[in-house]
């Protein structure tokens, strides 16, 4: 399952919110990069942009927390579980991308 959520936190109580889950789907790296680039374009360029707050990849029994989006995206394809969370604190917007590799049995 893959979840992508983009929120405008300041308007959260005033607007309808939609969360969409994509089951049995894992987006290509280019799509994740495009989503992050789009998110960054929504932030106020006159204010400081914080680093992502969570860049976690689990492979087997190991979980790694990365420092940069580039490190995260390098391991994304091989991840059994992944979580990316970037909060634009000054602009109060948030991008969440998370998923778990699912095993399909017949």
Residue 8 β-bridge partners? 93
pLDDT at 106 over 80: no
**pLDDT (tens digit, 9 = 90+) per residue, 29-75?**
999 999 999 888 888 777 778 888 899 999 999 999 999 999 999 99
pTM, to two decimals: 0.73
| Range list of β-strands (E), 1-106 | 2-8, 20-22, 54-59, 62-65, 81-88, 93-100
Quick check: helix, strand or coil at residue 61?
A: coil
């Amino acid at each position: 399952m893959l979840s992508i959520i983009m929120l405008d936190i300041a308007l959260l109580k005033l607007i309808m919110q939609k969360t969409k889950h994509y089951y049995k789907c894992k987006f290509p790296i280019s799509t994740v990069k495009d989503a992050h680039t789009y998110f960054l374009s929504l932030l106020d360029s006159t204010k400081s942009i914080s680093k992502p707050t969570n860049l976690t990849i689990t492979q087997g029994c190991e979980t790694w927390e990365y420092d940069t989006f580039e490190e995260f995206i390098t391991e994304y394809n091989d991840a059994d579980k992944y979580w990316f969370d970037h909060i634009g604190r000054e602009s109060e917007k948030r991008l969440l991308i998370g998923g778990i590799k699912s095993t399909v049995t017949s």
